[in-house]
């Protein structure tokens, strides 16, 4: 199938799967343990009922949405995804560029592969930066300072990875350092010659260009940089004091990512957060966590309307964006849906993913009888029985 013939995100997923060795695709696709969280994310969307209103003029529908004082073309951005260069070299740049062209934000992870300055340029001033706490606090403070120097407007601090998750797909394949893949997975990888050629042409294991300083990264081999990341991540000693410390260092808007409890959301705001991203990390961390859609209304209710409530996890359709906004989100992010496109066909594939979701949101709005994203709210939802 050609990229232009993909009619939905599921088509892009199939194209991405065909491109990728199984071990690599499992890293992108997988959840944790029994992958109940991923199923729950899907089920939560399936349970939403939107009640349409007819004989309303929907000839002029606009998706323009303001977040932190800036207007975006859609209420949807690209969630941070680390190690995307393993799927295809240049994926951070491809996603940033497609998002920039489409007028939506792209979020660069601190465990990403393409250099921050290049990504910021590619993203047309709409690149956010995301930070995982590192054991060596100097590393995280260094990348926060680099993002500030580059004029990045928004920093997301991800808090839902206190320990390394139990991803059984990766344990089975040996994914982690790609060179240690187990034999059946290595043999399967041989059936993806295009991926292998691109991987080798770009020097094998991609470097975490934004974790260490530019000089350190240049001086270290990719494997050493990968090991540094393994040692630095999953820091069990991160506490609220560290969040306060980042607030002091970061001049721009600050979002806490991965919050699922209204009390945590309130606390983050008390400590200076400008926004809260309600997320279960796409079902990749705590398998029995609720779907963020289930906790979204309580978190929205707990916070002042001036605080931005953002949402991600499980978005594969325009209707999912609409559902999350009716349940209280001000802005929505998608992870895998965008990555599938970029893996399938680089920037053109990422652009295709964005265009498909944009069209779906537009048609959903027309169907509902809604002309603007500021009209989304609980009034569209069928009250639950009982």
Ligand X SMILES: Cc1cc2nc3c(=O)[nH]c(=O)nc-3n(C[C@H](O)[C@H](O)[C@H](O)COP(=O)(O)O)c2cc1C
The residues pairing with 332 across neighbouring beta strands, listed in sequence order, are 76, 311
CB of 362 to ligand X, least distance (A): 20
Q: Does 158 bind ligand X (CB under 6 A)?
A: yes
CB of 175 to ligand X, least distance (A): 11
If the CB atoms of residues 158 and 238 are measured against ligand X, the closer one turns out to be: 158
- Could you please report the per-residue DSSP string of 79-115? PP-TTGGGTSTTHHHHHHHHHHHHT--EEEETT-SS-
Active site residue 281: yes
Q: Does 232 bind ligand X (CB under 6 A)?
A: no
Residues 71-90 that bind ligand X (CB under 6 A): 79-82
H helix or E strand, kind and range, residue 146: helix 137-149
Interface residue with ligand X, options 113, 126, 229, 279 (CB under 6 A): 279
If the CB atoms of residues 28 and 122 are measured against ligand X, the closer one turns out to be: 28
Q: Does 255 bind ligand X (CB under 6 A)?
A: no
Q: Is 55 helix (H, G, I), strand (E, B) or coil?
A: coil
Interface residue with ligand X, options 63, 97, 113, 130 (CB under 6 A): 130
Distance CA 21, CA 30 (A): 14
CB of 125 to ligand X, least distance (A): 21
Q: Does 300 bind ligand X (CB under 6 A)?
A: no
Which of these ranges, 185-193, 307-315, 321-329, 353-361, lies near ligand X under the rule CB under 6 A? 307-315
CB 276 within 8 Å of CB 282: no
Q: Does 28 bind ligand X (CB under 6 A)?
A: yes
Name the token pair of 149. 């120097």
Q: Does 122 bind ligand X (CB under 6 A)?
A: no
Q: How far apart are the first and last CA of the chain?
A: 46
Interface residue with ligand X, options 92, 287, 294, 312 (CB under 6 A): 312
If the CB atoms of residues 255 and 370 are measured against ligand X, the closer one turns out to be: 255
Name the token pair of 71. 């207007």
363's CB contacts (< 8 A; 6+ apart) are 318
The residues pairing with 62 across neighbouring beta strands, listed in sequence order, are 372
Q: Does 282 bind ligand X (CB under 6 A)?
A: yes
CB 17 within 8 Å of CB 25: yes
Q: DSSP secondary-structure letter at 374? A: G
Q: Does 133 bind ligand X (CB under 6 A)?
A: no
Contact residues for ligand X, defined by CB under 6 A = 28, 79-82, 109, 111, 130, 158, 257, 279, 281-282, 284, 312-315, 334-337
């Amino acid at each position: 199938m050609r990229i232009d013939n993909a009619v939905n995100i599921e088509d892009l997923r199939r194209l991405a799967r065909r491109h990728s060795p199984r071990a690599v695709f499992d890293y992108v696709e997988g959840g944790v343990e029994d992958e109940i969280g991923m199923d729950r994310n899907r089920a939560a969307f399936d349970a939403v009922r939107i009640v349409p209103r007819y004989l309303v003029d929907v000839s002029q529908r606009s998706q323009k949405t303001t977040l932190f004082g800036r207007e975006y073309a859609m209420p949807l951005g690209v969630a941070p995804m680390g190690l995307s260069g393993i799927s295809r070299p240049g994926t951070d740049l491809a996603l940033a560029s497609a998002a920039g062209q489409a007028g939506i934000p792209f979020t660069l992870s601190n465990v990403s592969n393409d250099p921050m300055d290049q990504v910021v340029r590619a993203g047309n001033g709409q690149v956010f930066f995301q930070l995982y706490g590192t054991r060596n606090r100097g590393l995280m403070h260094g990348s926060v300072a680099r993002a500030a120097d580059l004029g990045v407007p928004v920093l997301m601090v991800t808090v839902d990875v206190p320990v390394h998750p139990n991803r059984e797909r990766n344990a089975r394949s040996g994914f982690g350092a790609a060179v240690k893949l187990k034999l059946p997975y290595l043999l399967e990888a041989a059936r993806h010659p295009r991926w292998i050629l691109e991987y080798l042409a770009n020097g094998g294991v991609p470097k975490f260009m934004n974790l260490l300083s530019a000089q350190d990264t240049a001086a270290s081999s990719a494997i050493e940089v990968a090991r540094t990341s393994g040692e630095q991540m999953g820091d069990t000693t991160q506490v609220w004091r560290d969040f306060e410390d980042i607030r002091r260092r970061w001049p721009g808007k600050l979002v806490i990512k991965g919050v699922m409890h209204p009390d945590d959301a309130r606390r983050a705001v008390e400590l200076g957060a400008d926004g809260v991203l309600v997320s279960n990390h796409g079902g990749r961390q705590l398998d029995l966590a609720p779907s963020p859609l289930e906790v979204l209304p309580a978190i929205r209710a707990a916070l002042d309307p001036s605080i931005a409530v953002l949402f991600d996890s499980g978005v594969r359709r325009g209707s999912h964006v609409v559902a999350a906004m009716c349940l209280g989100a001000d802005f929505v992010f998608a992870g895998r849906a965008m990555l599938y496109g970029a893996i399938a066909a680089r920037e053109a594939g990422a652009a295709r993913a964005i265009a498909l979701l944009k069209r779906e949101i537009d048609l959903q709005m027309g169907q509902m009888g809604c002309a603007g994203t500021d009209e989304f709210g609980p009034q569209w939802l069928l009250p639950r029985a009982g």
